[in-house]
Protein backbone atom coordinates (compact mmCIF):
# COMPACT_ATOMS: atom_id res chain seq x y z
CA UNK A 1 0.00 0.00 0.00
CA UNK A 2 1.24 3.48 -0.90
CA UNK A 3 -0.19 6.11 1.52
CA UNK A 4 0.83 8.99 -0.76
CA UNK A 5 -1.02 7.40 -3.64
CA UNK A 6 -4.14 6.86 -1.56
CA UNK A 7 -4.15 10.55 -0.60
CA UNK A 8 -4.38 11.39 -4.29
CA UNK A 9 -7.36 9.14 -4.99
CA UNK A 10 -9.81 7.19 -2.84
CA UNK A 11 -9.83 3.52 -3.93
CA UNK A 12 -13.59 3.45 -3.42
CA UNK A 13 -13.93 6.09 -6.15
CA UNK A 14 -12.05 4.07 -8.78
CA UNK A 15 -14.57 3.01 -11.41
CA UNK A 16 -12.56 3.01 -14.63
CA UNK A 17 -8.96 1.80 -15.05
CA UNK A 18 -6.78 1.93 -18.14
CA UNK A 19 -3.73 -0.35 -18.48
CA UNK A 20 -1.03 0.22 -21.11
CA UNK A 21 1.56 -2.28 -22.31
CA UNK A 22 1.99 -2.13 -26.06
CA UNK A 23 4.53 -4.88 -26.69
CA UNK A 24 6.07 -7.55 -26.74
CA UNK A 25 4.96 -11.14 -26.05
CA UNK A 26 6.79 -11.70 -22.76
CA UNK A 27 6.31 -8.17 -21.46
CA UNK A 28 2.57 -8.25 -22.12
CA UNK A 29 2.23 -11.73 -20.61
CA UNK A 30 3.98 -10.65 -17.42
CA UNK A 31 1.34 -7.99 -16.77
CA UNK A 32 -1.43 -10.59 -16.46
CA UNK A 33 -0.99 -11.23 -12.71
CA UNK A 34 -1.55 -7.49 -12.21
CA UNK A 35 -4.79 -7.69 -14.19
CA UNK A 36 -5.99 -10.52 -11.95
CA UNK A 37 -5.03 -8.58 -8.81
CA UNK A 38 -6.87 -5.49 -10.02
CA UNK A 39 -10.02 -7.42 -10.83
CA UNK A 40 -9.98 -9.07 -7.40
CA UNK A 41 -9.73 -5.69 -5.65
CA UNK A 42 -12.04 -3.79 -8.01
CA UNK A 43 -14.67 -6.37 -9.03
CA UNK A 44 -17.08 -3.76 -10.41
CA UNK A 45 -14.57 -1.49 -12.13
CA UNK A 46 -14.36 -1.17 -15.92
CA UNK A 47 -10.82 -2.26 -16.86
CA UNK A 48 -9.39 -1.56 -20.32
CA UNK A 49 -6.03 -2.62 -21.78
CA UNK A 50 -4.10 -0.98 -24.63
CA UNK A 51 -1.92 -3.32 -26.71
CA UNK A 52 -0.48 -3.41 -30.22
CA UNK A 53 -2.13 -5.61 -32.85
CA UNK A 54 0.50 -8.40 -33.03
CA UNK A 55 -0.09 -9.13 -29.34
CA UNK A 56 -3.87 -8.78 -29.12
CA UNK A 57 -4.28 -12.57 -28.80
CA UNK A 58 -2.61 -12.38 -25.39
CA UNK A 59 -5.37 -10.11 -24.06
CA UNK A 60 -8.57 -10.67 -26.01
CA UNK A 61 -10.66 -13.17 -24.11
CA UNK A 62 -9.17 -12.38 -20.70
CA UNK A 63 -12.23 -12.55 -18.39
CA UNK A 64 -10.79 -9.86 -16.11
CA UNK A 65 -10.82 -7.23 -18.86
CA UNK A 66 -13.86 -5.35 -20.08
CA UNK A 67 -12.21 -3.94 -23.16
CA UNK A 68 -9.05 -4.45 -25.20
CA UNK A 69 -7.94 -1.40 -27.21
CA UNK A 70 -5.84 -2.57 -30.15
CA UNK A 71 -3.40 -0.18 -31.80
CA UNK A 72 -1.59 -0.70 -35.13
CA UNK A 73 2.05 -1.74 -34.74
CA UNK A 74 3.22 1.31 -36.70
CA UNK A 75 0.92 3.96 -35.26
CA UNK A 76 0.51 7.09 -37.38
CA UNK A 77 0.06 10.52 -35.79
CA UNK A 78 -3.54 10.60 -37.00
CA UNK A 79 -4.31 7.18 -35.47
CA UNK A 80 -2.61 8.19 -32.22
CA UNK A 81 -4.73 11.33 -31.89
CA UNK A 82 -7.87 9.36 -32.68
CA UNK A 83 -6.98 6.91 -29.88
CA UNK A 84 -6.37 9.76 -27.44
CA UNK A 85 -9.79 11.24 -28.17
CA UNK A 86 -11.43 7.87 -27.47
CA UNK A 87 -9.48 7.44 -24.24
CA UNK A 88 -10.35 10.93 -23.02
CA UNK A 89 -14.00 10.28 -23.77
CA UNK A 90 -13.95 7.32 -21.36
CA UNK A 91 -12.83 9.58 -18.45
CA UNK A 92 -10.60 7.02 -16.75
CA UNK A 93 -9.96 7.43 -13.03
CA UNK A 94 -6.57 5.71 -13.22
CA UNK A 95 -3.98 4.92 -15.88
CA UNK A 96 -1.28 2.34 -15.12
CA UNK A 97 1.57 2.58 -17.61
CA UNK A 98 3.35 -0.79 -17.49
CA UNK A 99 5.42 0.18 -20.54
CA UNK A 100 7.02 3.59 -20.21
CA UNK A 101 7.98 3.83 -23.89
CA UNK A 102 7.46 7.01 -25.95
CA UNK A 103 3.96 6.15 -27.18
CA UNK A 104 2.72 4.68 -23.89
CA UNK A 105 4.01 7.56 -21.77
CA UNK A 106 2.58 10.20 -24.14
CA UNK A 107 -0.73 8.37 -24.15
CA UNK A 108 -0.68 8.41 -20.34
CA UNK A 109 0.16 12.12 -20.27
CA UNK A 110 -2.70 13.04 -22.61
CA UNK A 111 -5.28 10.65 -21.09
CA UNK A 112 -6.67 13.22 -18.63
CA UNK A 113 -6.93 10.44 -16.03
CA UNK A 114 -7.29 11.60 -12.44
CA UNK A 115 -4.29 9.51 -11.42
CA UNK A 116 -1.39 8.38 -13.56
CA UNK A 117 0.96 5.64 -12.31
CA UNK A 118 4.20 4.54 -13.94
CA UNK A 119 7.92 3.97 -13.54
CA UNK A 120 10.67 6.44 -12.76
CA UNK A 121 12.12 7.18 -16.18
CA UNK A 122 14.55 9.96 -17.00
CA UNK A 123 12.82 13.01 -18.52
CA UNK A 124 9.37 11.43 -17.99
CA UNK A 125 8.85 11.69 -14.24
CA UNK A 126 6.60 14.73 -14.66
CA UNK A 127 4.03 12.56 -16.48
CA UNK A 128 3.07 10.43 -13.49
CA UNK A 129 1.44 11.34 -10.21
CA UNK A 130 2.97 8.20 -8.72
CA UNK A 131 6.18 6.66 -10.02
CA UNK A 132 8.19 3.71 -8.82
CA UNK A 133 11.71 2.47 -9.63
CA UNK A 134 12.06 -0.67 -11.73
CA UNK A 135 14.92 -1.88 -9.54
CA UNK A 136 15.97 -1.38 -5.94
CA UNK A 137 19.25 -1.19 -4.02
CA UNK A 138 18.23 -4.41 -2.28
CA UNK A 139 18.67 -6.30 -5.55
CA UNK A 140 16.82 -7.23 -8.77
CA UNK A 141 13.06 -7.56 -8.79
CA UNK A 142 11.12 -9.73 -11.21
CA UNK A 143 9.07 -7.87 -13.85
CA UNK A 144 5.84 -9.47 -12.59
CA UNK A 145 6.50 -8.12 -9.09
CA UNK A 146 7.51 -4.76 -10.51
CA UNK A 147 4.14 -4.46 -12.26
CA UNK A 148 2.33 -5.56 -9.11
CA UNK A 149 4.04 -2.74 -7.23
CA UNK A 150 2.29 -0.27 -9.53
CA UNK A 151 -1.01 -1.94 -8.68
CA UNK A 152 -0.31 -1.68 -4.96
CA UNK A 153 -0.18 2.11 -5.28
CA UNK A 154 -3.98 1.92 -5.61
CA UNK A 155 -4.26 0.31 -2.18
CA UNK A 156 -4.47 -3.22 -3.53
CA UNK A 157 -3.39 -5.86 -1.01
CA UNK A 158 -1.93 -9.01 -2.59
CA UNK A 159 -1.74 -12.01 -0.27
CA UNK A 160 -0.93 -14.66 -2.90
CA UNK A 161 0.78 -13.60 -6.12
CA UNK A 162 -1.43 -14.48 -9.11
CA UNK A 163 -0.24 -16.75 -11.88
CA UNK A 164 0.20 -15.78 -15.51
CA UNK A 165 -3.03 -15.97 -17.45
CA UNK A 166 -3.52 -16.22 -21.20
CA UNK A 167 -6.90 -16.64 -22.93
CA UNK A 168 -8.09 -20.08 -23.97
CA UNK A 169 -7.89 -21.11 -27.59
CA UNK A 170 -10.91 -20.88 -29.83
CA UNK A 171 -12.51 -24.07 -31.13
CA UNK A 172 -10.92 -23.82 -34.60
CA UNK A 173 -7.50 -23.28 -33.00
CA UNK A 174 -7.95 -26.29 -30.74
CA UNK A 175 -8.89 -28.41 -33.74
CA UNK A 176 -5.81 -27.22 -35.65
CA UNK A 177 -3.48 -28.27 -32.82
CA UNK A 178 -5.34 -31.54 -32.32
CA UNK A 179 -5.03 -32.34 -36.03
CA UNK A 180 -1.29 -31.63 -35.95
CA UNK A 181 -0.85 -33.99 -33.00
CA UNK A 182 -2.89 -36.73 -34.67
CA UNK A 183 -1.30 -36.45 -38.12
CA UNK A 184 2.19 -36.65 -36.66
CA UNK A 185 1.26 -39.44 -34.22
CA UNK A 186 2.48 -37.45 -31.21
CA UNK A 187 0.01 -38.94 -28.74
CA UNK A 188 2.01 -40.94 -26.20
CA UNK A 189 5.28 -39.45 -27.42
CA UNK A 190 7.51 -37.01 -25.54
CA UNK A 191 7.03 -33.84 -27.54
CA UNK A 192 9.66 -31.13 -27.04
CA UNK A 193 8.92 -27.62 -28.26
CA UNK A 194 12.13 -25.89 -29.37
CA UNK A 195 12.06 -22.12 -29.91
CA UNK A 196 14.77 -21.48 -32.48
CA UNK A 197 15.14 -17.69 -32.29
CA UNK A 198 14.10 -14.65 -30.26
CA UNK A 199 14.41 -11.98 -32.95
CA UNK A 200 17.49 -10.56 -31.28
CA UNK A 201 21.15 -11.41 -31.93
CA UNK A 202 21.81 -11.28 -28.21
CA UNK A 203 19.30 -14.08 -27.62
CA UNK A 204 20.20 -16.17 -30.65
CA UNK A 205 21.86 -19.41 -29.54
CA UNK A 206 23.14 -20.05 -33.06
CA UNK A 207 22.29 -22.63 -35.73
CA UNK A 208 25.23 -24.91 -34.92
CA UNK A 209 24.24 -25.15 -31.26
CA UNK A 210 20.62 -25.80 -32.19
CA UNK A 211 21.57 -28.51 -34.69
CA UNK A 212 23.86 -30.27 -32.24
CA UNK A 213 21.20 -30.10 -29.55
CA UNK A 214 18.51 -31.62 -31.80
CA UNK A 215 20.90 -34.44 -32.73
CA UNK A 216 21.52 -35.21 -29.06
CA UNK A 217 17.88 -35.04 -28.00
CA UNK A 218 16.46 -37.00 -30.91
CA UNK A 219 18.55 -40.03 -29.93
CA UNK A 220 16.23 -40.53 -26.96
CA UNK A 221 13.38 -42.95 -27.51
CA UNK A 222 9.88 -41.55 -28.10
CA UNK A 223 11.13 -37.96 -28.27
CA UNK A 224 9.75 -35.74 -31.04
CA UNK A 225 11.11 -32.23 -31.52
CA UNK A 226 8.87 -29.46 -32.83
CA UNK A 227 10.49 -26.22 -34.01
CA UNK A 228 8.61 -22.97 -33.39
CA UNK A 229 9.29 -19.33 -34.24
CA UNK A 230 7.97 -16.46 -36.36
CA UNK A 231 7.96 -16.06 -40.15
CA UNK A 232 11.22 -14.11 -39.79
CA UNK A 233 12.81 -17.30 -38.41
CA UNK A 234 12.10 -19.43 -41.49
CA UNK A 235 15.60 -18.96 -42.92
CA UNK A 236 17.05 -20.35 -39.66
CA UNK A 237 14.41 -23.09 -39.78
CA UNK A 238 15.61 -24.21 -43.23
CA UNK A 239 19.24 -24.28 -42.08
CA UNK A 240 18.38 -26.44 -39.08
CA UNK A 241 16.26 -28.85 -41.13
CA UNK A 242 19.07 -29.20 -43.70
CA UNK A 243 21.89 -29.73 -41.19
CA UNK A 244 20.24 -31.76 -38.43
CA UNK A 245 20.26 -35.54 -38.58
CA UNK A 246 17.12 -35.60 -36.43
CA UNK A 247 13.63 -36.13 -37.80
CA UNK A 248 12.19 -32.74 -36.93
CA UNK A 249 8.70 -31.31 -37.13
CA UNK A 250 8.23 -27.58 -37.65
CA UNK A 251 5.51 -24.99 -37.14
CA UNK A 252 7.79 -21.98 -37.56
CA UNK A 253 5.63 -19.05 -38.71
CA UNK A 254 2.55 -21.27 -38.94
CA UNK A 255 0.73 -20.85 -35.61
CA UNK A 256 -0.62 -17.92 -33.63
CA UNK A 257 0.04 -17.23 -29.97
CA UNK A 258 -3.08 -18.99 -28.67
CA UNK A 259 -2.29 -22.06 -30.78
CA UNK A 260 1.27 -21.97 -29.49
CA UNK A 261 0.06 -22.06 -25.91
CA UNK A 262 -2.30 -24.94 -26.74
CA UNK A 263 0.53 -26.91 -28.37
CA UNK A 264 2.88 -26.30 -25.42
CA UNK A 265 0.21 -27.42 -22.96
CA UNK A 266 0.03 -30.79 -24.79
CA UNK A 267 3.82 -31.22 -24.83
CA UNK A 268 6.34 -32.72 -22.44
CA UNK A 269 8.87 -29.88 -22.44
CA UNK A 270 9.59 -26.38 -23.75
CA UNK A 271 13.18 -25.42 -24.62
CA UNK A 272 14.39 -22.01 -25.70
CA UNK A 273 16.02 -18.68 -24.92
CA UNK A 274 14.77 -15.93 -22.65
CA UNK A 275 11.89 -14.95 -24.92
CA UNK A 276 8.18 -14.32 -25.36
CA UNK A 277 7.32 -17.98 -26.10
CA UNK A 278 9.17 -18.92 -22.89
CA UNK A 279 6.70 -16.75 -20.96
CA UNK A 280 3.79 -18.26 -22.91
CA UNK A 281 5.09 -21.66 -21.81
CA UNK A 282 5.20 -20.42 -18.20
CA UNK A 283 1.44 -19.87 -18.37
CA UNK A 284 1.05 -23.66 -18.75
CA UNK A 285 2.08 -26.54 -16.51
CA UNK A 286 4.65 -27.78 -19.06
CA UNK A 287 8.25 -27.79 -17.73
CA UNK A 288 10.77 -25.37 -19.21
CA UNK A 289 14.49 -25.43 -19.96
CA UNK A 290 15.58 -21.86 -20.69
CA UNK A 291 19.00 -20.49 -21.54
CA UNK A 292 19.69 -16.88 -20.59
CA UNK A 293 22.22 -14.57 -22.23
CA UNK A 294 22.31 -10.81 -21.54
CA UNK A 295 19.30 -10.75 -19.21
CA UNK A 296 19.24 -11.99 -15.63
CA UNK A 297 16.66 -14.60 -14.58
CA UNK A 298 16.07 -12.48 -11.47
CA UNK A 299 14.20 -10.06 -13.75
CA UNK A 300 12.62 -12.34 -16.33
CA UNK A 301 12.68 -16.00 -15.25
CA UNK A 302 9.62 -18.10 -16.20
CA UNK A 303 7.11 -16.98 -13.58
CA UNK A 304 6.10 -19.68 -11.04
CA UNK A 305 7.12 -22.35 -13.56
CA UNK A 306 8.77 -25.74 -13.20
CA UNK A 307 11.92 -24.59 -14.94
CA UNK A 308 15.64 -25.20 -15.26
CA UNK A 309 17.69 -22.09 -16.05
CA UNK A 310 21.08 -22.25 -17.79
CA UNK A 311 23.35 -19.20 -17.78
CA UNK A 312 26.99 -18.15 -17.75
CA UNK A 313 28.41 -16.05 -14.92
CA UNK A 314 30.06 -13.19 -16.83
CA UNK A 315 30.90 -9.71 -15.58
CA UNK A 316 29.29 -8.11 -18.65
CA UNK A 317 25.84 -9.40 -17.70
CA UNK A 318 23.32 -7.87 -17.75
CA UNK A 319 23.85 -5.60 -20.73
CA UNK A 320 21.69 -3.18 -22.73
CA UNK A 321 21.80 -5.44 -25.81
CA UNK A 322 23.12 -2.73 -28.12
CA UNK A 323 26.66 -3.96 -28.72
CA UNK A 324 28.46 -7.04 -27.46
CA UNK A 325 31.78 -5.84 -26.03
CA UNK A 326 33.36 -9.13 -27.16
CA UNK A 327 31.52 -9.28 -30.50
CA UNK A 328 30.84 -12.97 -30.03
CA UNK A 329 27.73 -13.03 -27.80
CA UNK A 330 29.56 -15.39 -25.48
CA UNK A 331 27.01 -15.09 -22.67
CA UNK A 332 24.67 -17.24 -24.78
CA UNK A 333 26.79 -18.87 -27.49
CA UNK A 334 29.13 -20.44 -24.89
CA UNK A 335 26.28 -22.43 -23.42
CA UNK A 336 27.01 -25.89 -24.78
CA UNK A 337 24.31 -28.13 -26.33
CA UNK A 338 25.35 -30.85 -23.85
CA UNK A 339 24.41 -28.56 -20.95
CA UNK A 340 20.94 -27.96 -22.34
CA UNK A 341 20.57 -31.66 -23.14
CA UNK A 342 21.46 -32.67 -19.58
CA UNK A 343 18.91 -30.21 -18.20
CA UNK A 344 16.26 -31.71 -20.47
CA UNK A 345 16.94 -35.25 -19.28
CA UNK A 346 15.65 -34.41 -15.81
CA UNK A 347 12.20 -33.65 -17.21
CA UNK A 348 12.06 -36.15 -20.06
CA UNK A 349 12.98 -39.12 -17.88
CA UNK A 350 10.21 -38.17 -15.47
pLDDT digits (tens, 9 = 90+) for 18-36: 999 999 999 999 999 999 9
Q: Are residues 317 and 243 in the same domain?
A: yes
Whether 162 is covered by a domain: the verdict is no
Mean pLDDT on 236-252: 97
The number of distinct structural domains making up the chain is 2
Whether 238 is covered by a domain: the verdict is yes
Confidence at residue 1, expressed as pLDDT on a 0 to 100 scale: 39
CATH code, domain with 175: 3.40.50.2000
Q: Are residues 243 and 315 in the same domain?
A: yes
pTM: predicted TM-score of the whole model, two decimal places? 0.94
Q: Which long-range contacts does 49-54 make (Cβ < 8 Å, 24+ apart)?
A: 49/18, 49/19, 49/20, 49/21, 50/18, 50/19, 50/20, 50/21, 50/22, 50/83, 50/104, 50/107, 51/21, 51/22, 51/23, 52/22, 52/23, 54/23
Whether 319 is covered by a domain: the verdict is yes
State the pLDDT confidence band at 144, using cuts at 50, 70 and 90. very high
Confidence at residue 307, expressed as pLDDT on a 0 to 100 scale: 98
Answer yes or no: are the C-beta atoms of 299 and 281 closer than 8 Å: no
At residue 6, does pLDDT exceed 70?
no
Q: Are residues 80 and 181 in the same domain?
A: no
Size (the chain), residues: 350
| Domain of 97, in residue numbers | 3-152
Amino acid sequence: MNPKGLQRIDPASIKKILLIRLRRIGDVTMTTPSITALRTSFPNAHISYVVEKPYRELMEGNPHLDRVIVLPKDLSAKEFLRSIRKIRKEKYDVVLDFHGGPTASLMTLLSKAKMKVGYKIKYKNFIYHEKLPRSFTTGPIHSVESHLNLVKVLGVSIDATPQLYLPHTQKAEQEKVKKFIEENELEGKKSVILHISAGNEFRNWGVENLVEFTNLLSALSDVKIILIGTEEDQKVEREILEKSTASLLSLVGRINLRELRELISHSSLFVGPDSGPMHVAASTSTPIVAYFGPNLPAYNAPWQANASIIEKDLDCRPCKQRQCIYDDFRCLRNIRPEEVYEACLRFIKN
